[in-house]
Amino acid sequence: MNTALSWIKAYVPDLNIGDQEYTDAMTLTGTKVETYERMDKNLEKIYIGQIEAIEKHPDADKLIVCQLNLGFSKLQIVTGANNVKVGDKVPVVIDGGKVAGGHDGTKPENGIVIKNGKLRGIESFGMLCSIDELGCEKAMFPDAPENGIYILPQDATIGDDAVEYLGLKDTVFEYEVTSNRVDCYSVIGIAREAAATFQTPFLKPVVQVKETEQKIEDFLTVEVLDTDLCPRYCARVCTNIKIGPSPSWMQKRLRASGIRPINNLVDITNYVMEEYGQPMHAFDYETVSDKKIIVKRAVDGEEFETLDGVTRKLDSEILMICDGQKYIGIAGIMGGENSKITEDVKTVVFESATFIGANIRKSAKRIGVRTDASGKFEKGLDPRNAEEAINRACQLIEELGCGEVVSGMIDITVPLKELVKIPFSADRINQILGTQIEKETMISIFERLELCYINDEEVIEIPSFRQDLEGIADLAEEVARFYGYDKIPTTLPSGEATTGKLPFHLRVEEKAKDVAEFCGFSQGMCYSFESPKVFDKLLIPMDSELRKTVTISNPLGEDFSIMRTISLNGMLTSLATNYNRRNKDVRLYEFGNVYLPKEVPLKQLPDERMQFTLGMYGEGDFFTMKGVIEEFFETIGMFEKITYNPNAGKPFLHPGRQAEISYKDTVVGYLGEVHPQVLKNYDLGTKSYVAVLDMPSILPFASFERKFVGIAKYPAVLRDISMVVPKEILVGQIEEVIQQRGGKYLEHYELFDLYEGSQIKEGFKSVAYSISFRGKDKTLEEGDITQAMKKILNGLEALNIELRQ
Amino acid sequence: MKEKLEQIKLEVLKQIEQSDTLEKLNEIRINQLGKKGALTEILKGMKDVTPEERPKIGQLVNDVRIEIETILEDTKVKLEALVMEAKLRNEVIDVTLPANKSKKGHRHPNTIAMEEVERIFIGMGYEVVEGPEVETDYYNFEALNIPADHPAKDEQDTFYINGDILLRTQTSGTQVHEMEKGKLPIRMIAPGRVFRSDEVDATHSPSFHQIEGLVIDKHITFADLKGTLAEFAKELFGEDTKVKFRPHHFNFTEPSAEVDVTCFKCGGSGCRFCKGTGWIEILGCGMVHPNVLKMSGINPEEYSGFAFGMGLERIALLKYEIDDMRLLYENDVRFLKQF
C-alpha cells in the first residue's frame, strides 16, 4: 500500500514529523513502513515561468530561443522542444538547480545539475522541464505530451515553486499491511493508526450527500439471489454526468498511490477505493436492461467479455452482476465490456458491495485475472464500510460538479452482525504481557483506536472495521502495540525446570555425521522432490515398488514433481556436479528422508525414512566405503558381525560389486560401485561408490552403553591356516565357520593373504587366516586349541576347502 | 719414580687433549689404564721398591690414576655432547614444508547453524523434536488457526499432494503434535525441512529449513518471550547484540511480533548486509493463540505459552556471508570445505 504523507495529514492535521521518525514510530506500532521516497528528490530551483517570446535559433534548425518571465527575473533559455508557444506556463530550472531525470527517462542517483551555458553560440540560463525531468512517470500525467515540455495549467502563478505546485513536496510511504488488518488497506485506516501512534486527533471525512428530488426507486431495482456470496449490495444513481478531468489535488493523491488519473468519474471511484478500502463499480445506466440489477451465480461453461476486451470462461461458482437480460460484470473482479462507462455517459449506477473474500479469491484465480478490486475483496471487507463509501463517492460527484445524485440508496443486505464485545480485564492483559500497566492507560489506548470501553458491562465494543479483534489476546496486542513492545520487560520463564535434550535418533545421526566427516566425507543437501525420470536414469524396472511415489499435484515443474523414494539421485547429481567442475577425490554424505507411500493414491501420510547416503569417487574403493560403514556401526555400539550379501539386487549398482548390508538378520542398507550405465546417465566419468543406510532400521541396534571387559591377563595363542578354496566360496563364508565353530576361547581372526594365480589350481584361490585364542581366566593349553581348530577345519572341509600343506 | 709418574701423567693428559673422538678416548683408557698400560707397569715394578716406600708409591700411582680417570670422563661427556650436537644439526628439517593433514570432511553450513541453535536451546532446557514433512492440512493450517479458505493459505504457496495432504510450509505443525501429547509443561524446538512453491533463485528455494520453538506452562508471559529471545540472540550473535520487537501478525500467535537483531556485521551502524538500517530481521514469534491451545486440548485459562520460528538458511547465509542460496544445494566441495 503506497500513500502520500500529505493524504494521511489530511485526516491527521496535527501530524508534524520527519519522514524517518514517522517510519520508525509507525513500524513500532505495527504499521510497518517498507520504504519511503521523497517525491521532490533531486528537484531544486524549479519555478513556474511564462514564455513571453520565441525566436528561431539563428544557427540551428531544431532549436528555439525563448524569453521567460519568472516574476523575480527574466531569462533567455534555448530549447529543442517544439510544443511550446508564447503565453505557455512551464516549469523552469535555473542555474545551479537540479532535475531528477533525463528526457530519455533515466534517473541518475544524484540527479542532474543544470548550469548556464551556450547552445550553438546563444546563451541559455536554464532549462524548460519535461515530466520525465521532473522525476515523474509520464503515464501518471495524462495531460503531459509524449515528447516535450510539460505545460502547466493557466492558473499557475508565475514565479512560484513549480515542484510545490505539482504536489511533489511530499513523501510516498510504502506500508506492509498484515493480512489481518483489512482496515489498513485504506488511507483512513493508516491515518487512524498514525493518529493513535502520535496521539493526535483523527478527523474522518464528513460525508453528506446533496440529493435531487428524483427517487432511486424510479430508476432501478436490485435483486440478490445468492446472498451466501454477497452479504451486502448497495446501489446509487447519479444523473447529468459531465465527464472531465478531476481536480489536481485528487490527481496528485492518486498518482502518489500509483494510480493513473483518467477522468473525474473513474478518479472518484478509485479515490474512494483508496480512501475507504472499498472497491466500487460504475455502470452506464443506459446499458442496464430492464432497469434491473440481479446478483447471481453464472452457469457452467458460459462466456463473458470483460471491459479489458478479454473473453472469460465462467462457471457456477463465479458470482455475476446481471441486468434484466444479460451479464454486465463479474462480481468483485471486473466489469463487462457491454456496460462500461464511455465519454458520453449521462447516468451512472454506482455499486458498493461486499462479496465473500474466499470466493472472489478462488474465482479470480480460475478466471486468471487479479484486479485492484478483487485484491481488496478477497481480504473480506466490512459490510458497514460499503454504505459509507458509496455515499462518499456520491458526495464527491456532486461537490466536484461531475453530476447530480438521485435521492436514496438501494441496500440489499443480510442482517449485519452485531458489534463484538470482548470482556475486558486489565489483570488478564497484564498476565499475558508480563506487565503492570494501569487500567486507565489501557482504556486510553483503546479510545485512540475507536475501541469503545463500556464501563457498566466491563467490555470493549469493537467497531466493525476491526474484524481482527476477537478475544482478550487481541486486546492485549492492541495494548502492547501502543504501550510499546520495547517497554515490556524481559524475563525468563519461571516454573518447573525441564531437561534439555537431543532425542536418541538425533544423537545417532550426529555420530554418523562425525564418523563420515572423520572419514573425509562432507555433508551435502539435496531436494526431497525430483523428476520421475530419475527411475529410468537409475535403471529401476517399470514394476518396481520404488516407482510408486507421493506425487505433488501442483509442482514447480515435472523435474520437482515426485517425492523421492530413493536417495541416490541427489547424491549422483552432486558427484557429477563436482566431477564436471574438475574437483578431485570427492566424498559426500547426505541426511534426508525418502517418502514411501503406504498406498497409491495417497490416503494417509507416507512413511518418511531417514537415509544416510554416502558417495565418493577418486581415491578409495568399495572397501573404503565398507570401512566407513563399519566405523559408524562400531561408533554406535554395533559390534556384532555385519553380513554382506553380494546378491543385493540393485539395478543401479555394478552387478558384481554390490552388497546388501545386514545386522542381526535385518537388512539395514546397501553399498556398491555405481553401474557404468548409470554413471553415463549422470555424466559422471569416473568410477563411483555409494552406500545407503536406512536409519530407522539401524536405530534399534544402536546403543551408547559400554561395559569395560578388562584387559587380557593371559597370553593369546595364534594359529595360522592357509587354505585352497573354491573360487565361488566367499571369505565371508569362511569367517562364518570360524565364528560359529571357534568356541569360547576364540578372540579374533584376520585375513592375511589372498591369492589367485598360476600356483593355484584352476577354479581355486588361496586364502590364509590368522586366528587367535585367549582364555579369560587361564593360560590356554594345547588341548583347548586343538579341539577348537579341529572343529573349524571340519567346518571348512564341508565347504570343499583344503588345507594347504 | 715420582718423576716417572709425573711424566706419564703429562703424556696421558696431552693425548687426551688431542683426542677428538670417543674411539680415541677409549684407546687411551685401554692403553694407559688397562692391563698393559703404563700405570699397571709401574705397579708391577713395585717389587723393586722397599716395603716402607710401597704404600707411598701405591698412593701416588692411585692418585694419578684417579686424576686421569676423572679427566677422561669429563672429556668423554664433552665429546658426547659434541656428537649429539652434530647429529641434531644433521637432522634439521624444513618446517615450512606442507603439513600432512588428514582429509577430514565438513558439516554443511546449514547443519552448523542448526546445531548452534539447538545447543543454545538445549542449554535452556528445551527438547529437540521432529514432525513429518508430508503433513495433513489440519496440522499445517487448521490447528494453527488458519481455517479453510483463509488467504494465509495462498500466501504460503503450498505444494499439495491432494486436498488433505501437503508438504508442510512451516515447522509450526510440530507444535500441535507436541501439545496433543498432553504432557505439560513443554519446552521444545523443532528443526526441519519445509517447502514452498518458490522458483529457485539467489534468495529463494522451494525447500528450506526452519526452527520452531514452543514453550507452554502456567504463567508464561510476553515478557518471558522477549527475555528468552534476547538471550538466544546474544548467544548466537554475540554479547552486544540487541533485539527489537515489532508488532506483526501470525494466525497462530497473539500478540505477535517480528524480531530484528542489531546487524552482526556492522554492529548497528548500517552496512550493506542490513541495507543501511543497522537491523536484521531474523524471526517471527508471539504468544500462542488461545484458539490453538484449545484445539490442542490445552485450557488457555490455565496455561499460556509462546512460540517462535526462524529460517535456518537465512541465518546461515547471513552468518557466513553467502550471497547465493543455490550454493547450499549444489554440494560443490569447494563450497562445503569452507565451513
Question: Is A559 part of the contact surface with chain B (CB cutoff 8 Å)?
Answer: no
Residues composing chain A: 805
A-contacting residues of B 79-98, CB under 8 Å? none
Question: Is A494 part of the contact surface with chain B (CB cutoff 8 Å)?
Answer: yes
At residue B272 the predicted structure's pLDDT band, cuts being 50, 70 and 90, is confident
A37 bridge partner residues: A172
* E-state strands within B161-303: 165-167, 186-195, 207-217, 243-250, 253-262, 279-288
Mean pLDDT, range A678-692, rounded to an integer: 97
* Residues whose CB is less than 8 angstroms from the CB of residue A276 and which lie 6 or more positions away in sequence, other chains included: A186, A188, A385, A388, A389, A392
CA A51 to mean position of chain CA atoms: 53
Subunit contact A524:B336, Cβ cutoff 8 A: yes
Please tell me chain B's helix, strand, coil percentages from 3-state DSSP, rounded to the nearest 5: 45, 20, 35
Mean pLDDT, range A644-669, rounded to an integer: 96
Q: What is the pLDDT of residue B266?
A: 85
Using CB atoms, pick whichever of A500, A528, A608 lies closest to residue B121.
Answer: A500
Question: Is A587 part of the contact surface with chain B (CB cutoff 8 Å)?
Answer: yes
Subunit contact A488:B223, Cβ cutoff 8 A: yes
Biggest CA-to-CA distance, chain A: 131
* A203 is a domain residue: no
Question: Is B311 part of the contact surface with chain A (CB cutoff 8 Å)?
Answer: no
Structural contact between residues A406 and A390, judged by C-beta atoms closer than 8 angstroms: no
Q: What is the pLDDT of residue A709?
A: 84
Kindly tell me the burial class for residue B327, based on how many C-beta atoms sit within 10 Å of its own C-beta (0-12, 13-18, 19 or more): middle
* Sign of the CA dihedral with A720 first, then A726, A727, and A732 last: negative
Mean pLDDT, range B222-239, rounded to an integer: 95
A-contacting residues of B 277-306, CB under 8 Å? 287, 289-290, 304
Subunit contact A552:B160, Cβ cutoff 8 A: yes
Task: Name the closest residue on chain B to residue A483, using Cα atoms.
Answer: B247
Q: What is the CATH number of the domain that holds A52?
A: 2.40.50.140
Out of A501-505, A772-776, B50-54, least confident range: B50-54
CA-CA distance, A417 to A355, in Å (whole number)?
15
B207 bridge partner residues: B195
User: Both A233 and A299 in a single domain?
Assistant: yes
Out of A780-794, B219-233, B267-281, least confident range: B267-281
**CA nearest to A43, candidates A166, A173, A174, A172:** A166
Q: What is the DSSP string of A598-614?
A: SSSS-SSPPEEEEEEEE
Task: Name the closest residue on chain B to residue A586, using Cα atoms.
Answer: B333
Q: Grid coordinates in use for B35?
A: 692391563
* A176 is a domain residue: yes
* A574 is a domain residue: yes
Q: Grid coordinates in use for A578?
A: 563436482
User: Both A189 and A234 in a single domain?
Assistant: no
Task: Name the closest residue on chain B to residue A510, using Cα atoms.
Answer: B115
Of A701, A725, A742, which residue constitutes the final position of a domain? A701
Q: What is the pLDDT of residue A674?
A: 97
Domain total in chain A: 6
Q: What is the CATH number of the domain that holds A227?
A: 3.50.40.10
Question: How many angstroms separate the CA of residue B333 from the nearest CA in chain A?
Answer: 7
Q: What is the pLDDT of residue A586?
A: 97
Q: What is the CATH number of the domain that holds A18?
A: 3.30.56.10
* A346 is a domain residue: yes
Question: Is A552 part of the contact surface with chain B (CB cutoff 8 Å)?
Answer: yes
Question: How many angstroms separate the CA of residue B95 from the nearest CA in chain A?
Answer: 25
Question: Is A28 part of the contact surface with chain B (CB cutoff 8 Å)?
Answer: yes
Question: Is A122 part of the contact surface with chain B (CB cutoff 8 Å)?
Answer: no
CA-CA distance, B88 to B95, in Å (whole number)?
15
**Hey, what amino acid is at B80?**
E
User: Both A254 and A339 in a single domain?
Assistant: yes
Structural contact between residues B259 and B244, judged by C-beta atoms closer than 8 angstroms: yes
Q: What is the pLDDT of residue A92?
A: 96
What are the tens digits of pLDDT across the range B313-337?
988 988 888 989 999 999 999 999 9
Of A394, A413, A432, which residue constitutes the final position of a domain? A413
At residue B37 the predicted structure's pLDDT band, cuts being 50, 70 and 90, is confident
Question: Is A605 part of the contact surface with chain B (CB cutoff 8 Å)?
Answer: yes
Q: Grid coordinates in use for A88?
A: 505557455
Q: In this prediction, what percent of chain A has a pLDDT beyond 90?
A: 89
A-contacting residues of B 208-267, CB under 8 Å? 215, 217-224, 226-228, 230-231, 244-249, 251, 254-257
**CA nearest to A266, candidates A174, A338, A373:** A373
Q: Grid coordinates in use for A142?
A: 495524462
CA distances in angstroms from B184 to A341, B305, B328, listed in the order given? 64, 11, 37
Subunit contact A29:B224, Cβ cutoff 8 A: no
* A483 is a domain residue: yes
**Which residues in chain A have their CB less than 8 angstroms from residue B330's CB?**
574, 577
Subunit contact B329:A518, Cβ cutoff 8 A: no
User: Both A439 and A311 in a single domain?
Assistant: no
Of A673, A701, A729, which residue constitutes the final position of a domain? A701
User: Both A672 and A552 in a single domain?
Assistant: yes
Subunit contact A486:B244, Cβ cutoff 8 A: yes
Q: What is the DSSP letter of A161?
A: B
* Residue B39 reports pLDDT greater than 80: no
B-contacting residues of A 453-472, CB under 8 Å? 468, 471-472
Mean pLDDT, range A166-193, rounded to an integer: 95
* A573 is a domain residue: yes
Subunit contact B133:A550, Cβ cutoff 8 A: no
Subunit contact B221:A434, Cβ cutoff 8 A: yes
Structural contact between residues B213 and B121, judged by C-beta atoms closer than 8 angstroms: yes
**CA nearest to A103, candidates A133, A78, A82:** A133
CA-CA distance, A566 to A670, in Å (whole number)?
12
User: Both A281 and A365 in a single domain?
Assistant: yes
User: Both A346 and A265 in a single domain?
Assistant: yes
**Which residues in chain A have their CB less than 8 angstroms from residue B231's CB?**
492
* A499 is a domain residue: no
* Residue A805 reports pLDDT greater than 70: no
**CA nearest to A375, candidates B147, B154, B169:** B154
Provide the mean pLDDT of chain A: 94
User: Both A239 and A334 in a single domain?
Assistant: yes
Q: What is the DSSP letter of B30?
A: I
Q: What is the pLDDT of residue B4?
A: 79
Question: How many angstroms separate the CA of residue A674 from the nearest CA in chain B?
Answer: 19
Subunit contact A500:B330, Cβ cutoff 8 A: no
Mean pLDDT, range A296-315, rounded to an integer: 94
Q: Counting one residue from A and one from B, how many pairs have CB atoms under 8 Å apart?
A: 251
Q: Grid coordinates in use for B72?
A: 677422561
Question: Is A563 part of the contact surface with chain B (CB cutoff 8 Å)?
Answer: yes
User: Both A139 and A224 in a single domain?
Assistant: no
CA-CA distance, A330 to A320, in Å (whole number)?
5
Structural contact between residues B133 and B141, judged by C-beta atoms closer than 8 angstroms: no
Subunit contact A30:B165, Cβ cutoff 8 A: no
Q: What is the DSSP letter of A73?
A: -
User: Both A48 and A35 in a single domain?
Assistant: no
Q: What is the pLDDT of residue B274?
A: 83
Question: How many angstroms separate the CA of residue B93 from the nearest CA in chain A?
Answer: 29
Q: What is the DSSP string of B87-118?
A: HHHHT---TTSPP---------HHHHHHHHHH
Mean pLDDT, range A529-533, rounded to an integer: 96
* Residue B338 reports pLDDT greater than 80: yes
Subunit contact B207:A28, Cβ cutoff 8 A: no
User: Which residue matches cell numbers 465519454?
Assistant: A343
- Beta strands A221-224 and A292-297 are parallel
Q: What is the pLDDT of residue A346?
A: 95
Mean pLDDT, range B286-310, rounded to an integer: 96
Q: What is the CATH number of the domain that holds A778?
A: 3.30.70.380
CA-CA distance, A351 to A331, in Å (whole number)?
10
Question: How many angstroms separate the CA of residue B328 from the nearest CA in chain A?
Answer: 7
**Which residues in chain A have their CB less than 8 angstroms from residue B246's CB?**
27-28, 30, 32, 485
Q: Grid coordinates in use for A417?
A: 452482525
A2 or B55, which is more confident: A2
CA distances in angstroms from A778 to A132, A775, B93, B214, listed in the order given? 101, 5, 50, 59
Mean pLDDT, range B60-72, rounded to an integer: 86
Q: What is the CATH number of the domain that holds A601?
A: 3.30.930.10
- What is the rounded (10 degree) CA torsion for A535, A538, A542, A544? -90
Provide the mean pLDDT of chain B: 90
Residue A584 three-state SS: coil
CA-CA distance, A636 to A323, in Å (whole number)?
77
Mean pLDDT, range A318-346, rounded to an integer: 93
Out of A472-476, A762-766, B62-66, least confident range: B62-66
User: Both A722 and A612 in a single domain?
Assistant: no
CA distances in angstroms from A341 to A91, A238, A328, A516, A668, listed in the order given? 34, 13, 12, 72, 73
Kindly give the interhelix angle for A731-741 and A782-798, rounded to the nearest 10 degrees: 140
Subunit contact A503:B161, Cβ cutoff 8 A: no
At residue B156 the predicted structure's pLDDT band, cuts being 50, 70 and 90, is low
Subunit contact A529:B207, Cβ cutoff 8 A: yes
Q: What is the DSSP string of A111-147?
A: -EE---EEETTEEE-EEE--TTTTT--GGG-TTS-SS
Give me the phi and psi of B191, to 5 degrees please: -80, 155
What are the tens digits of pLDDT across the range A590-636?
999 999 999 988 999 999 999 999 999 999 999 999 999 999 999 99
B-contacting residues of A 152-211, CB under 8 Å? 178-181
User: Both A369 and A453 in a single domain?
Assistant: no
Question: Is A608 part of the contact surface with chain B (CB cutoff 8 Å)?
Answer: yes
B173 bridge partner residues: none
CA distances in angstroms from A303 to A290, A327, A599, B171, listed in the order given? 21, 10, 40, 43
Q: Grid coordinates in use for A20?
A: 524517518
* Domain residue limits at A756: 717-803
Question: Is B157 part of the contact surface with chain A (CB cutoff 8 Å)?
Answer: no
CB count within 10 Å of CB B145 equals 20
* A325 is a domain residue: yes
Mutate to test the interface with B, among A181, A422, A525, A572 (most CBs of B within 10 A): A525
B52 or A3, which is more confident: A3
* Residue A103 reports pLDDT greater than 80: no
Using CB atoms, pick whichever of A180, A492, A500 lies closest to residue B123.
Answer: A500
**Hey, what amino acid is at B174?**
T
User: Which residue matches cell numbers 571340519?
Assistant: A794
Q: Grid coordinates in use for B62?
A: 692411585
Task: Name the closest residue on chain A to residue B230, using Cα atoms.
Answer: A490
User: Which residue matches cell numbers 485450557?
Assistant: B299
At residue A137 the predicted structure's pLDDT band, cuts being 50, 70 and 90, is confident
Mutate to test the interface with A, among B184, B205, B221 (most CBs of A within 10 A): B221
Mean pLDDT, range B168-193, rounded to an integer: 95
Using CB atoms, pick whichever of A178, A528, A552 lies closest to residue B133.
Answer: A528
**CA nearest to A339, candidates A353, A325, A352:** A325
